Amino acid sequence: MRVVIYHEIRPESLDQVLTEGIKRSDKGEKTDSVVQRADECLEARIPEHLVAQGLSRQDVVYGYMSTGAKLIDIRNGEAIDVDRFSADRELVLLRITVDPAKCYVSDLDAYDAVKMCVKSGADDTMVSRLCERYWTRVVPLAEYRDSVYRRPEIMVVSDIEPEDIEVVTADG
């Protein structure tokens, strides 16, 4: 069984992605220094049992959760028509099929709490507590129940092969 998720890339990366696939080590759109620092804080505090499952903030492929012809927008948690979402973005939207056993769901509201704490310069105790909360909220896709998290994000712990990638066009 396979599941569909969605992933965005820069237009200039499309040919390479369609030829080589998407590698977990690709950094994607993470150029913001606060995001990078939050990921480093989370990475330093990841529980060993999650490391053993291949989880990481820096070595996974991120994606939007699919709900039929819609995806969950990570900006606001709304289910939005895939075509409409794609038309409103400058990035290229990809439809990816993956093994659900390689997918985990994270809570972006818990992630944002870590990010804001790092940005504010909070003490290490507070950062550690929020990092622990974030990691306890990462669950295998098979255990996730719809609408548990307002803004779910998919984390894939494997590379994505080119044959599992399809470009979303204006007509779906």
Domain of 7, in residue numbers: 3-167
Assess if residue 9 is contained within a domain.
yes
Assess if residue 62 is contained within a domain.
yes
- Please, are residues 38 and 111 in contact by the beta-carbon 8 Å criterion? yes
**Spatial CA neighbour of 63 closest among 42, 38, 35, 91:** 91
Quote the pLDDT of residue 130: 96
Q: How many CB atoms lie within 10 A of CB 159?
A: 15
What is the maximal distance between C-alpha atoms in the chain? 50
pLDDT higher than threshold 70 for residue 3: yes
Assess if residue 123 is contained within a domain.
yes
Quote the pLDDT of residue 31: 63
Instruction: Please give the Cα distance from 92 to 79 (Å, whole number).
Output: 19
Assess if residue 96 is contained within a domain.
yes
Quote the pLDDT of residue 69: 85
Instruction: Please give the Cα distance from 87 to 39 (Å, whole number).
Output: 29
Give residue-wise pLDDT tens across range 33-63: 888 899 999 999 999 999 999 999 989 999 9
| Cα–Cα distance list, 147 to 31, 72, 98, 105 (Å) | 29, 10, 21, 11
Quote the pLDDT of residue 29: 54
Summarize the confidence of residues 10-21 as an average pLDDT: 95
Number of domains in the chain: 1
Give residue-wise pLDDT tens across range 65-109: 998 889 999 999 999 999 889 887 889 999 999 999 999 999 999
Give residue-wise pLDDT tens across range 135-165: 999 999 999 987 789 999 999 999 999 999 9
Assess if residue 26 is contained within a domain.
yes
Assess if residue 172 is contained within a domain.
no
Q: Give the pair of three-digit tokens for residue 9.
A: 């890339």
- Residue with the bigger pLDDT between 169 and 167: it is 167
Quote the pLDDT of residue 122: 82
Assess if residue 106 is contained within a domain.
yes
Quote the pLDDT of residue 12: 95
Assess if residue 94 is contained within a domain.
yes
Quote the pLDDT of residue 171: 58
Q: What is the pTM of this model?
A: 0.91
- Please, are residues 157 and 13 in contact by the beta-carbon 8 Å criterion? no
Instruction: Please give the Cα distance from 60 to 104 (Å, whole number).
Output: 10
pLDDT higher than threshold 70 for residue 26: no
